[in-house]
Structure 1
Amino acid sequence: MTIKNMSLSSSARTEKSSLDGEAGGMSFLDLPELALECILERLPPAGLCSMAGVCTSLRERCVSDHLWEKHMKQKWGRVIGPAAYREWQWHLASRKDLGSCKQGKPKGFMRLLSMFWPSSWSSPKADPINNSKQRSSLPVNSIMSWYLALETGKFWFPAQVFNRENGHVGFMLSCYDANLSYDPGTDTFQVRYPPHGRRAIATESGVPWERLRAPPFDTSPHDLHISDCLNDLRPGDHIEIQWRRNKEFPYGWWYGVVGHLESCDGNENYCRCHNSDTVVLEFHQYTPDSRWRSTAVNRKEHREEGDEADGFYGGIRKLYNNEEISRWKRLWPTEVLE
């Protein structure tokens, strides 16, 4: 196939002619469309940003959502949920000047881009055809801009953090909502926990990826999760249950397993616990005589149960995914708690 005979758009032809004039040979844009696409799909985020600074035609390709969806999913899919996306949309709506590129200090998207890869956009050869047009038409409401906002740590987003009070053994098998900001220098996160009751906002730095996850449900931590798995619960099942200290506190999710009734000896051949309206939930990180060791809920009528002394138990989520179960087990404390 003769590369010179490949058809190009009028803008690409203009850019190609200019680049050919400088290089004195074939342009990268002479490649077939499929070949170009395959090359761009294999570039890392930094490579896409660098390539987007070459010319208008490549910019239009490199900022497209379908190229950035893979990078967003690979790096941020574990911690980004619907709540984070809503926060991003609200952020865009409240920052109408994100797309403005006036002279002087860069704003919005350009600031994010220059912080992440400043060399990609600072060179005077970034666009030999129409650099000013390129800089003024960058897509703000795109996956690329969201990725860069997350990557530079300028965007705080909601997620959940395992072991809210890191180092406090009583919270090691819990997961609480918080706002997070990425620190690219350490590949960790800054965390702001919402106030609990009368407590002020708590902060934590250096939180690693393995302590984070996207919320399993798109609900407020102050709302009761309506359980849809109660009729399926059997002894040995792994669960998460909402728990809060009192009515002023938000819910956290706590790991446990379904146990046997006192009247059952645990023999699988004779166990009928799954036929009972009472479901026993056990938390084996606590000693057998601890008041936190177990609780029981009604399979048919369970909503929120508890009191100010022992806290309030809310909705239940059954864990089907082995990876989720393994993650909880990796957080298991080295000593049994009282």
Structure 2
Amino acid sequence: MSSNVMTLRRKSFSCRVENVETNSEMSVLDLPELVLECILERLPPEGLYSMASVCSSLREKCTSKYLWEKHMKEKWGRVLGPAAHREWLWHISSRNDSSFFNQAKERGLMTYLSQFWPISLVRSNPSTSFKKKVPPAIDSIMSMYLALESGKFWFPAQVYNRENGHVGFMLSCYDAELSYSRRTDTFQARYPPHGRRAMAIETGVTWDRLRVPPLDTSPHDLYISDCLTELCPGDHIEIQWRRNKEFPYGWWYGVVGHLETCDGNEYYCRCHESDTVVLEFKQYTHGSRWRTTHIDRKDHREEGNEADGFYGGIRKLHSNEEISMWRRLWPSDVLE
């Protein structure tokens, strides 16, 4: 047997080095710094949790911002936008003195972690103890990751085809608050009340129905369009729409169409020169009152009435990824 055998001790998570006559055991902390960093970078989140229980030195390394930023980006980057990060700052500010974090301080890191992951993933040896048991800093990336995984942190995002694809919301995207379930790998969505209607709650929302809000605009505020002068037939757009003035806006998919006086011939079309822009929602059948609407290119604000709803700001879609997403959601049957 070699005089230097490196082992990760299975029965004890102690980081001490023991010297005996015929065998020297080396702890993981005796590894070169670069090697240890490479190992930690390859660990999944639950692996980092387990390693954080070994000793104070590894706890410091395993809770580093660098490691957790990578995990945060890989899993949560596609659904967390500026609004979600603002909500997190408010969340940790309001919980500084709450039992949620006080319990973590009193009961130690591993008990704290067990709130978020199965006990089997984070349980340490009974003999293990830290000189000072402290949880991750509440404003750390690790804490945010834990709160998201646990479902304790509700974050703002947008949901396509809300309420399980209710026919009244086909090809739309609405703001909601989301809570994650690790058991099902899906989300629970809370939609804000609509007028006198109570808050709607939807379960089983899948990852592919979520997106970061493309604009940092409240669903109750009119978006001031900056693309009206360039809109031409065939352009893909999203437009704000709400049932009445008490409702928040949702974003609805449509395309720019031709004026009735235009035959659609691309060589003679002059629709882009008109002050009137035709918007088509082709998921609705011909003759439906929802099929088309007209807006004023030069002076568009909010247009509509209590019968047909109110059309708000417009954003032109430039990304093929966004357009493909709407096409993927296209209903199998034409709507009335």
Q: Find the residue that maps to 1:46 and give its secondary structure.
A: helix
Query: Could you say if the C-alpha distance between residues 127 and 24 of structure 1 is closer, same or farther in structure 2, counting changes exceeding 3 Å?
Result: farther
What is the deviation of 1:52?
1.4
C-alpha distance in structure 1 between counterparts of 2:171 and 2:292, whole Å = 14
Specify the alignment match of 1:212 in structure 2: 210
What is the deviation of 1:307?
0.7
Pick aligned residue for 1:290 from 288, 291, 302: 288
Specify the alignment match of 1:63 in structure 2: 63
C-alpha distance in structure 1 between counterparts of 2:36 and 2:105, whole Å = 33
Unaligned runs of 5+ in 2: 5-13
What is the deviation of 1:118?
2.9
1:105-116 correspondence to structure 2 within 5 Å: 106=107, 111-116=112-117
Q: Find the residue that maps to 1:166 and give its secondary structure.
A: helix
Does residue 1:147 correspond to 2:145, yes or no?
Answer: yes
Deviations 1:60-97 (A, max 9, x none): 11111111112111211221111111111111111114
C-alpha distance in structure 2 between counterparts of 1:233 and 1:107, whole Å = 58
TM-score by length of 2: 0.88
1:1-338 correspondence to structure 2 within 5 Å: 16=15, 18-20=16-18, 24-97=24-97, 98-101=100-103, 106=107, 111-119=112-120, 121-124=122-125, 127=128, 131-133=130-132, 135-136=133-134, 138-338=136-336
What is the deviation of 1:300?
1.7
C-alpha distance in structure 1 between counterparts of 2:239 and 2:108, whole Å = 44
Specify the alignment match of 2:10 in structure 1: none
Q: Find the residue that maps to 2:272 and give its secondary structure.
A: helix
Contact 2:241–2:250 (Cα < 8 Å) also in 1: yes
Deviations 1:203-254 (A, max 9, x none): 1111111111111112211001111111221111111100000000000000
Counting matched residue pairs gives: 320
Moved over 6 A (4+): none
Deviations 1:174-206 (A, max 9, x none): 111111111111111111111101001111111
Structure 2 letter corresponding to 1:32? P
What is the deviation of 1:127?
5.0
What is the deviation of 1:124?
3.6
Q: Find the residue that maps to 2:190 and give its secondary structure.
A: strand
Unaligned runs of 5+ in 1: 5-14
Query: Could you say if the C-alpha distance between residues 114 and 187 of structure 1 is closer, same or farther in structure 2, counting changes exceeding 3 Å?
Result: same
Q: Percent identity?
A: 68
What is the deviation of 1:333?
0.7
Deviations 1:161-183 (A, max 9, x none): 11123242231101111111111
Q: Find the residue that maps to 1:225 and give its secondary structure.
A: coil
C-alpha distance in structure 2 between counterparts of 1:212 and 1:272, whole Å = 38
C-alpha distance in structure 2 between counterparts of 1:244 and 1:55, whole Å = 55
Specify the alignment match of 1:11 in structure 2: none
TM-score by length of 1: 0.87
C-alpha distance in structure 2 between counterparts of 1:83 and 1:126, whole Å = 43
Instruction: Please provide the CA RMSD for this pair.
Output: 2.4
Structure 1 letter corresponding to 2:227? C
What is the deviation of 1:120?
5.4
Deviations 1:101-141 (A, max 9, x none): 5787x49995354431534554246855xx141x2252211
C-alpha distance in structure 1 between counterparts of 2:31 and 2:108, whole Å = 35
Deviations 1:280-315 (A, max 9, x none): 111000011111001111122111111111100001
Q: Find the residue that maps to 2:241 and give its secondary structure.
A: strand
* Bigger mean CA deviation after superposition, 94-103 or 172-181: 94-103
Query: Could you say if the C-alpha distance between residues 229 and 103 of structure 1 is closer, same or farther in structure 2, counting changes exceeding 3 Å?
Result: closer
Query: Could you say if the C-alpha distance between residues 40 and 336 of structure 1 is closer, same or farther in structure 2, counting changes exceeding 3 Å?
Result: same
Q: Find the residue that maps to 2:25 and give its secondary structure.
A: coil
Contact 1:259–1:282 (Cα < 8 Å) also in 2: yes
C-alpha distance in structure 1 between counterparts of 2:191 and 2:52, whole Å = 38
